[in-house]
């Protein structure tokens, strides 16, 4: 789910061609797992179909025509709602957290506010899991422990990232 929203965020920053979006996505979010070119264009096709992006101009290229994409109001509303909403606290959330923080910084949004909201969401989930740990059967307690350990790691990451937002902003805005 983050790839379409990340592309919308990159398009809100500036209208772009598909290859520029791939380059920017890979440099910001896909360092260890670059986005396949086909996924960029199939995602842009779905976003266009759903009215979230439109082609601004089509020009000749060395291969197929070069299409420049622009985010629509519908796409911007979805992006803004996604950026404002804390992600569900769950294991392996780092990628979503990181993507939201970087996009918030790129778009001059309140990344610190997002991290604060995410911290509160994690703490709420930790209280729920702590109650399961106190009163649940052993299997549920062990699963709650697993979830709590992951949430604790996320909280440490949130705190470290919040402390480094200025540096991160400089780096991603380059």
pLDDT at position 59, please? 61
Q: With beta carbons less than 8 A apart as the criterion, state whether 29 and 102 touch.
A: yes
Beta bridge partners of 120: none
3-state secondary structure at position 70: strand
**What average pLDDT values come out for the chain (174 residues) when binned by 10 residues?**
91 95 90 88 97 82 74 97 86 77 95 96 96 92 92 94 97 90
3-state secondary structure at position 22: helix
pLDDT at position 45, please? 96
pLDDT at position 102, please? 94
pLDDT at position 94, please? 57
- Cα dihedral value 120, 125, 129, 135, nearest 10: 90
pLDDT at position 127, please? 96
């Amino acid at each position: 789910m983050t790839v379409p929203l990340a592309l919308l965020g990159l398009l809100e920053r500036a209208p772009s061609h598909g290859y520029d979006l791939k380059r920017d996505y890979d440099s910001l979010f896909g360092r260890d797992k670059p986005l396949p070119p086909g996924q960029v264009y199939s995602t842009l096709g779905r976003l266009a179909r759903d009215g979230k992006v439109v082609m601004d101009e089509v020009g000749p290229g060395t291969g197929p025509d070069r299409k420049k994409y622009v985010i629509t109001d519908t796409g911007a509303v979805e992006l803004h709602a996604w950026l404002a909403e804390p992600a569900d606290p769950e294991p392996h959330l780092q990628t979503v957290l990181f993507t939201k923080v970087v996009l918030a910084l790129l778009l001059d949004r309140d990344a610190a506010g997002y991290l604060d909201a995410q911290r509160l969401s994690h703490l709420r989930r930790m209280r729920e899991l702590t109650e399961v740990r106190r009163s649940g059967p052993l299997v549920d307690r062990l699963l709650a422990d697993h979830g709590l350990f992951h949430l604790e790691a996320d909280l440490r990451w949130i705190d470290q990232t919040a402390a480094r937002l200025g540096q991160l902003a400089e780096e991603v805005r380059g």
